[in-house]
Amino acid sequence: MDGDNLTGAVVASFDGSPDPRTREVMSALVRHLHAFAREVDLTEQEYFRGIDFLTRTGQISTETRQEFVLLADVLGLSMLTVGLDTKLPPEATAATVFGPFFVEGSPAYELGDDIANGAPGQPCLVGGRILNISGEPVAGALLETWQADEDGFYDVQKNLGVPQNRGHFTTDAEGNFSFWSVRPVAYPIPDDGPVGELLRAGGRGPMRPAHIHFMVTAPGYARLITHVFAAGDEYLANDAVFGVKDSLIAEFTEHPAGTAPDGRELDRPYASVHYDLVLAPTEETL
- Does 119 lie in the same domain as 46? no
Whether residue 24 has pLDDT greater than 60 = yes
Choose one of 74, 107, 122: the last residue of a domain: 74
Residue 185 has pLDDT above 70, yes or no: yes
Rounded-to-integer distance, Cα 43 and Cα 45, Å: 5
Q: Based on the domain organization, do 88 and 224 belong to the same domain? A: yes
Whether residues 23 and 141 fall in one domain: no
What does the alpha-carbon distance between residue 9 and residue 266 come to, in Å, rounded to a whole number? 69
Are 35 and 90 members of one domain?
A: no
Distance CA 194, CA 231 (A): 31
Residue 283 has pLDDT above 90, yes or no: no
In order of 26, 32, 43, 188, 227, the CA distances from 9 in angstroms are 13, 14, 22, 44, 44
Q: Please indicate, yes or no, whether residues 55 and 139 belong to a single structural domain of this protein.
A: no
Residue range 112-131, pLDDT digits in tens: 999 999 999 999 999 999 99
Write the CATH number for 195. Answer: 2.60.130.10
pLDDT surpassing 70 at residue 286: no
How much is the average pLDDT of 210-228?
97
Whether residue 107 sits in one domain with residue 56? no
Q: Are the CB atoms for 70 and 243 separated by under 8 Å?
A: no
Residues 178 and 243 in one domain: yes
User: Of 74, 109, 133, which marks where a domain is finished?
Assistant: 74
Give mean pLDDT, residues 47-75: 94
Statement to judge: residues 87 and 136 lie in one domain = yes
Q: Which helix (H) or strand (E) holds 181?
A: strand 176-182
Question: Residue 284 — pLDDT band, cuts 50, 70, 90?
Answer: low
- 153 and 120 within one domain: yes
The answer to which of 60-74, 138-152, 259-273 has the lowest mean pLDDT is: 60-74
Instruction: Tell me which residue of 143, 147, 212, 140 sits closest to 172, measured CA to CA.
Output: 140
CA distance 245 to 247: 5
Q: 42 and 130 share a domain?
A: no
Find the domain containing 55 and state its range. 3-74
Coil, strand, or helix at residue 165?
A: coil
8 and 23 assigned to the same domain: yes
Q: Residue 1 has what pLDDT? A: 67
Tens of pLDDT along 82-116?
A: 988 878 899 999 999 998 889 899 999 999 999 99
Answer yes or no: is pLDDT of 190 > 80.
Answer: yes
Q: By C-alpha distance, which of 269, 236, 266 is closest to 251?
A: 236
On whether both 99 and 31 belong to a single domain, the answer is: no
Look up the pTM and report it.
0.90
Q: What does the pLDDT read at residue 160? A: 86
Which pLDDT value is given to residue 159? Answer: 82
173 vs 175: CA distance, rounded Å: 6
Q: How many domains does the chain have?
A: 2
In the predicted model, is pLDDT for residue 285 greater than 60? no
Res. 15 pLDDT band, cuts 50 70 90: very high
Domain final position from 56, 74, 92: 74
